[in-house]
Structure formats: C-alpha cells, structure tokens
C-alpha cells in the first residue's frame, strides 16, 4: 500500500490539527494516491454534528482543506518526476478555500474524500475536492494551495 501523504511531511510540519500524525488531539486525516486521484476516508465522531443526524460543516471544510493540501503535495511530486514516498512530501498551506454544501451530510457513515489538481504552477495549485457518503456526493470544494512560505517555517 502507498504511504499516507501526511506521513511524509517533515516532522516540523506534522502537527496539523486536521492531519498531523504528531497531533494526538486532531483528526489525523490520511490521504493516499489511488490512480489519478488522491483519496481519504474518514468517519466523523458522533459529536462532530451540526444538528442531530448531520455532520458539522466546519469539519467537512477541514477535511477538504487538509485533503487538498495533500493532493497538491502528491501532484507536485509527480510533476517533478518522483513517486509519492520517494522522499519527504512538500508542505502546502491554504490560501483560499471554497466549500459548497450540496446536501446535508448524514452522520454515522464513512466519508470518502477525493481530490485532484485542476491548475498548477511552480508554487501554487488549485485542487478540486468531493466528499461522498453512502454513494451520494454532499460536498464540492476547491482550494488554492501554496508552498509553505519561509515565514511559517519556524521551529517548535
């Protein structure tokens, strides 16, 4: 199996609340290359609710966000002629995020989060993300990912 992209982030960038392997309080989202897409699966906890029975939109935005950054990282590696896992994954951060809640997302089932890059340049990528539950897409998102600026590379 491919490694999770987030598990290839350098240790200093592995504390993200959404996807950092070093953040025990966080969601620890893990995204994998599958064919031409990047895919993550996540089952929200019962307390991740908006109103009873439905997933909290802020969690869905968070999952789309972290998944988009991982998708951008995988795409950057592939565009550079490397395979994901050949070395540390480049860390992208979010410049903009747009989330369309197409339908309420029911709680209690695994979510499938899929991403692919729609535009790329040396320092930036635009990533399209879908979230599907029980076979129905409930969320469409788009994120602008940029290579982490030097100013954010402070040590712990």
Residue 1's alpha-carbon distances to 5, 27, 91, 115, in angstroms, are 12, 21, 22, 18
Give the residue, chosen from 15, 21, 124, 147, that forms a contact with a copy of itself under the rule CB under 8 A. Answer: 15
Task: Tell me how far apart the terminal alpha carbons of the chain are, to the nearest angstrom.
Answer: 31
123 counts as binding a copy of itself under rule CB under 8 A: no
Distance CA 84, CA 81 (A): 10
Q: What are phi and psi of 13, to 5 degrees?
A: -115, 30
The strand ranges marked E within the chain are: 31-34, 37-42, 92-101, 111-120, 124-133, 136-147
Binding map of a copy of itself across residues 87-106, x = CB under 8 A, - = no contact: ----x-xxxxxxxxx--x--
Q: Does residue 18 bind a copy of itself (CB under 8 A)?
A: yes
Q: Which is nearer to a copy of itself, 50 or 78 (CB)?
A: 50
Options 31, 62, 130, 138; binder of a copy of itself; rule CB under 8 A: 62
| Residue ranges in contact with a copy of itself by CB under 8 A | 12-13, 15-18, 20, 23-26, 45, 47-54, 56-59, 61-63, 65-66, 91, 93-101, 104, 148-149, 151-156
């Amino acid at each position: 199996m491919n490694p999770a992209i987030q598990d290839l982030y350098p240790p200093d960038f592995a504390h993200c609340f959404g996807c950092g392997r070093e953040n025990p309080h966080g969601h620890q989202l893990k995204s994998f290359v599958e064919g031409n897409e990047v895919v993550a699966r996540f089952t929200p906890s019962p307390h991740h609710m908006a109103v009873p029975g439905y997933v909290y939109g802020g969690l869905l935005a968070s999952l789309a966000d972290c998944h988009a950054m991982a998708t951008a990282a995988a795409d950057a590696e592939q565009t550079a002629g490397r395979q994901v896992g050949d070395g540390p994954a480049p860390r992208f951060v979010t410049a903009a995020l747009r989330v369309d809640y197409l339908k309420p997302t029911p709680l209690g089932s695994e979510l499938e989060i899929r991403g692919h890059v729609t535009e790329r340049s040396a320092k930036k990528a635009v990533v399209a993300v879908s979230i599907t539950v029980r076979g129905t897409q409930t969320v469409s998102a788009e994120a602008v990912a940029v290579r982490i600026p030097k100013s954010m590379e402070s040590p712990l």
